[in-house]
A = this chain, B = another copy of it.
Amino acid sequence: MVEAELGERSRQVLEAVIVDYTLTAEPVGSRAVSRKYHPDLSPATIRNAMADLEELGYLSQPHPSAGRVPTDKAYRFYVDRMKAQPLSRTEATRLNRQVGGARSELDELMEHASLQLSSLSRYTGVVLAPPLSHTRLERVDLLPVGGERALAVVVTETGWVTSRTITLGEPLRQLELREIARLITEGFGGLTFQEIQGRLDDPGPPPEERLGRLALTLAEKVFALLRDRNLYIGGAINILDQPEFADLDTMRMLLKAFEEKRRLIELFSSRAEAEGVRVVIGSENPYEEMHETSVVTAVYKYGNHILGSLGVVGPRRMRYAKVVALVDYTAKLVSRRLDRLARAEPSA
């Protein structure tokens, strides 16, 4: 359908405009296209093609006598038919070393990944940490740590460990704590955190014994702490080097978007079921503050479960071919890394 809409000539011109604009960030005129990309075609021919492209909504003019600028539709067309441009050897080794390195723990892995995404793309890297909603609880431990507080340790079936201190409502002995932890583990073990949340929201009749009731309130506390996902943003200022964000208001808007992590988290978690790399261009983004940006994301997995997503936020005139390859590679690297982290079973 799109193929029918555009002739070969128009397609080539469109591509040239996109490539040039990606490089220069300046509106590109017919003359420049002729000189730099198609010396065999005269500027006048290009002009005709460009006029067609504008009518079809692929190009637009900032003002009547300026060059043309690609629209979101143009980028979409380009992205859908381009080939990813594989990472260079040095880039790949650097990623492998920094992200695939063996020593780091989970949070360091996420942080390094976001930093590398940023510095290799020269835009901003984002990593959304695994949500717990779809993973299953293995067990809960409660350790007394003095006073009316305890350390709650939550272990999932996939082997992730989260711990937080919680404040008990009343002083409890170690034995009581252990019993409560056992009750919680028995009551909720094997369920996904989503299911657990459902049960907690609609608890039915309260248990008879005191410890049972305590277990419920403490479980509430423990799982409440796990609800928020972490979002790692690396190199937020990197993106500010792009000329389209040189304007003060645009800049402020973008930074505000970065600071409001909650909405970014939504953005990165929504539609994160599909495999492969996803590209959201400009106004395709539901988040209005990000209409000037494009977002490239991919999911990372543990075994067959999608755990989270990561990606790059950049200007609409992003070097898509490169970034898509980078994001894809990084996602796979993180998945492999997670596998190794979790599967490391006793070798004996």
Contacts and interface: CB of A to CB of B under 8 A. Distances in A.
Copies in the complex: 2
A161 B151 contact: yes
A346 B174 CA distance: 12
Interface string A337-348: 000011111111
A148 interface: yes
A175 to B, nearest CB: 14
A253 to B, nearest CB: 10
Given A240-B255, A252-B240, A256-B237, A147 B163 contact: no
A255 B248 CA distance: 14
Nearest to A146: B159
B149 A151 contact: no
Nearest to A151: B161
Interface string A138-171: 1001010111110101010001010111110011
Contacts of A343: 147
Determine chain A's interface SS by DSSP, over half rule. mixed
A348 B14 CA distance: 78
Contacts of A155: 145-146
Interface in A277-296: none
A267 interface: no
Given A252-B237, A255-B237, A346 B163 contact: no
B259 A345 contact: no
Contacts of A151: 153, 161, 163
A284 B246 CA distance: 30
Interface in A238-260: 240, 246, 248, 251-252, 255-256, 259
A211 interface: no
A256 B255 CA distance: 13
Contacts of A171: 345-348
Interface in A317-348: 341-348
A307 interface: no
26 contacts: A103-B167, A105-B164, A105-B167, A138-B146, A141-B143, A143-B153, A145-B155, A146-B342, A147-B343, A147-B345, A147-B346, A148-B344, A149-B344, A151-B161, A153-B153, A161-B165, A163-B163, A170-B347, A171-B345, A171-B348, A236-B255, A236-B259, A240-B252, A240-B255, A248-B248, A251-B251
Given A103-B167, A106-B165, A246-B248, 14 more contacts: A145-B155, A147-B159, A148-B344, A148-B346, A149-B161, A149-B341, A151-B153, A151-B161, A153-B153, A161-B165, A167-B341, A171-B345, A237-B252, A237-B255
Interface of A: 103, 105-106, 138, 141, 143, 145-149, 151, 153, 155, 159, 161, 163-167, 170-171, 225, 235-237, 240, 246, 248, 251-252, 255-256, 259, 341-348
